[in-house]
Amino acid sequence: MPAATSRLGAGRRPYGARSSFETSRRAFRDDSATPGTGSSRTPLQDSLGILTPSALHFERHHSGVPVIDPATHELVIHGLVDRPRVLTLADLRRLPSVSRVHFIECAGNSGREHEGRPGADPQQSHGLASCSEWTGVLLSVLLREVGISSTARWVIAEGADAARHARSIPLDKAMDDVVVAYGQNGEALRPEQGYPLRIVAPGWEGNINVKWLRRLHVVDRPYMLRDEAASYTDLMPGGKARRFTFVMEAKSVITRPAGGQSLAGPGDYEITGLAWSGRGAITRVDISSDGGTTWTPATLSEPVLPKAFTRFTLPWRWGGRPTTLRSRCHDETGYVQPTRDALIAARGMTAGPDGYNHYNGIKIWTVDGDGTVRHA
Amino acid sequence: MAMARFVMRELVGLAIASAAVVAGAVVVATAQPLAAGIGRAPTPDEVAALDISVAPDGTGLPRGHGSPREGELLYRSTCAPCHGARGEGRAEFPALAGGVGSLASAQPVLTVGSYWPYATTVWDYIHRAMPYDSPGALTSDEVYAVTAYILRLNGLVAETDVLTETTLPRVVMPNRDGFIADPRPDVR
C-alpha cells in the first residue's frame, strides 16, 4: 500500500498553499541596482486553464511594492466633476460590482522576439502576460456618480506607490469597460497587483492598468505623463514615434510542447497554448507542424471570453522527425496574428525607449529529432 | 423602521438608474446620483495636497523658480551618481542628455533632450518619482532648478535662464512634433 494511503494525512489549515511537490515560479533578474524597478515573468508553460494563479501573476513596478493599509486607503475623484468624492474601500464595496476575466499584458511582452533574441521557453518569451478574474466597480459607475462635466475627455489614474505612477485614460475607454478592481481570483488583490485597489483597462497595455490606485483626476486632455509622452511610445524608422498605442493586438503561444521541454519519443501528444486579443474574443487558433504550409484549427476550450486568455488544444502525433510548431490566432474583428517578418516589414528594427513594444508575431518552436524542443 | 424605508427608497433609485443605463440615456445628469450618500466630499485643501497633475501648458505647476546654476550643485549630489555628471546615463540608468537629431538614424539615442516632447513632463517626473530612493524630497524650487540644469545639459536653456511656472512650459523641446497617432492595425 502506498505510504500516503497507510497513514493519516495532514490536518486542516486556515490559508492553503500548493503541494510541496509543485515548484513553478516567477522568473526575474535579481541583480538590479534598483530592486523595486523591473519585472517578473509568469511561467506560462506550467499554466493550466486560463487563470493565472495570483501568486504567479507577472509583476512590473517602477519603485517597488508599497504596503497599504486598506482601512485608511482612500480614492479621491476630482477635477471636471460636479461632486468630487473621497471613497474608502468600504464605500466602494457598497457600489454595484462586476467580476470580469481579463488578461493584463506588459507592452513589452515578447519584444525580444522582435529584436531577434527569442525567449528559450514560454516564460521568457511571453511571460509578461497573465489572466485573472477581477472584481470591482466599473469606472463608468464612479464617473456617473460624481457627474462628469461636458468638457471632460480624459481621466488621469494615479497610484500611491513611490513613483506615483500615473497615466491618462481616454474618457471613451473609461466609460466603456474599465474596472476599478479590489478583487483578484476570489480574494483581495495581491500587493504586487495593486492591493488594495487598481485600474483594470481590459485589452490595453499593462502600464495603463494603474496599481495602488488613490486618485482619479478628470481632465480635458492628456497630461503627457512620462509613461505616455516618452516611455510607452513606439519609435519607427524615420524617427517618428507612435503614441497612445494602447491596445494589445492578438497573440498566441504554444505552451506545451514548448522550449525547455522534451518529448519522450514518437507518439501521441496534446499541443496546448494560450491566445488572447485586446480587441475582443479569440475566434480561431490554427496550428502548423510543417513550417507553416498547412494549418489545422485547434479546439478552443470554454470559456472563450473577450480580452481574456483563451486555451487552445490539438491532439498531435509526432513521428520522431525534426519539425517546427507554430500557432496563429484570429480575433472577432477579423484580425489575424501576423508573422515576425510581416511586423518587421511594417515597423522595422528600431528600438524605442523601452525596447520593442507591442510585438505580437507568430511564435515558432523547433522540435529536434531527439525530442528536445527549442526556440526557433 | 425609518431605516428600512430609507433602504427601500435607495433600492428603487438603483433600479431606475440601472434601467436608464440600459436605455443608453445620459444617466443621472440632473437627478439624484446613484448613491449620493456614499463617500464624502473632499475639502479643497485635501485636493490641493494630493493634486500634483501638470499639463504641457503649465496647468498645475506650482509657483516657483530655479536656474541651471542653482540646479547644478543639486544635480551633482543627487542625480549624477546614477545619471552621470553630464547626463550621459550609466548601466540601467537612462541618459538624460544628448542624441538630438539622432532619431531618424540607425542608432537613435533617446534622452530627455532628444525625445521627450514637453518640458513639463520633465518637471512632473522629477517631482513625482525622483530622486529614486527618496521621491518627494525636493522642494518645488529645487525641481525647477534640477529641471533647468537637465535642459541646460541639452542646450535648451541658457545658463542664466530662470525657469518658473510661466517660463517652463514655453521651452520648446526638439522632438515636440515627433509623435504620430496609433495606425494599428498596420499589419494584416
**Residue B77: how many CB atoms within 10 A of its CB?**
10
Is B15 part of any domain?
A: yes
The answer to whether residue B78 sits within a structural domain is yes
Q: How many Cα atoms sit within 13 Å of A95 on the Cβ side?
A: 30
Q: How many domains does chain B have?
A: 2
Q: Do A85 and B51 touch (CB under 8 A)?
A: no
How far is residue A337's CA from residue A113's CA, in Å, rounded to a whole number?
A: 14
What is the gyration radius of the CA atoms in chain B, in angstroms?
A: 24
Q: Is A113 inside a domain boundary?
A: yes
Domain co-membership, A217 together with A257: no
Handedness of CA A120, A126, A127, A128 (dihedral sign): positive
What's the CATH number where A116 sits? 3.90.420.10
Domain assignment of residue A360, yes or no: yes
pTM for this model (two decimals): 0.93
What are the CA-CA distances from residue B1 to residues A309, B10, B12, B35 (Å)?
Answer: 49, 14, 17, 20
Domain residues for B129? 65-170
Domain stops at, among A217, A242, A267: A242
If asked whether residues A317 and A174 sit together in one domain, one would say: no
B41 interaction partners in chain A (CB closer than 8 Å)? 83-86
Q: Among partner residues A145, A223, A226, which is closest to B55 by beta-carbon distance?
A: A223
pLDDT in tens, A284-325: 999 999 999 999 999 999 999 999 999 999 999 999 999 999
pLDDT at residue A94, rounded to an integer:
96
- Contact across the interface for A85 and B41, Cβ inside 8 Å: yes
CA atoms within 13 A on the CB side of A54: 16
Cis amide bond preceding B185, omega within 30: yes
Instruction: Return the CATH number at A311.
Output: 2.60.40.650
The neighbour count for residue A367, using CB atoms within 10 Å, is: 22
What percent of chain B clears pLDDT 90, i.e. is strictly above it? 79
- Residue where one domain finishes, among candidates A216, A242, A268: A242
Instruction: From A242, A261, A286, give the residue that closes a domain.
Output: A242
Question: Has residue B103 been placed in a domain?
Answer: yes
Rounded average pLDDT over A81-92: 97
Q: Does A153 lie at the interface with B, CB-CB under 8 angstroms?
A: no
Q: Range of A294's domain?
A: 251-375
Pairing assessment for the beta strands B163-164 and A241-242 based on DSSP bridges: unpaired
- Taking chain B (188 residues) in runs of 10, the rounded mean pLDDT of each run is 36 41 43 68 97 98 98 97 96 94 95 98 98 96 98 97 98 98 96
- pLDDT tops 70 at residue A2: yes
Question: CB of A90 within 8 Å of any CB in chain B?
Answer: no
Question: pLDDT at position B33, please?
Answer: 54
Q: Looking at residue A79, what DSSP letter applies? A: E
Distance from CA of B69 to the nearest CA of A (A): 25
User: What are the grid coordinates assigned to B125, written together?
Assistant: 517626473
Q: Calculate the CA A1 to chain-centre distance.
A: 45
Q: Do the beta carbons of residue B143 and residue B66 sit within 8 Å?
A: yes
Based on the domain organization, do B27 and B70 belong to the same domain?
Answer: no
Q: Is A336 on the interface with B (CB under 8 A)?
A: yes
- What is the arithmetic mean of pLDDT over A123-142? 98
pLDDT, mean of residues A45-68: 97
Contact yes or no for A242 and B118 at CB 8 A: no
Q: How far apart are CA A374 and CA A365, in angstroms?
A: 6
**Which value does ipTM take for this structure?**
0.96
- Chain B residues within an 8 Å CB radius of A141: 34
Q: What percent of chain B has pLDDT over 70?
A: 81
| Chain-centre distance for alpha carbon B108 | 25
Instruction: Find the residue in A nearest to B184 (Cα).
Output: A245
Chain B neighbors of A145, CB-CB under 8 A: 28, 33-35, 38
Same structural domain for residues A285 and A153?
no
Residues B162 and B67: their CA atoms lie apart, in Å, by 5
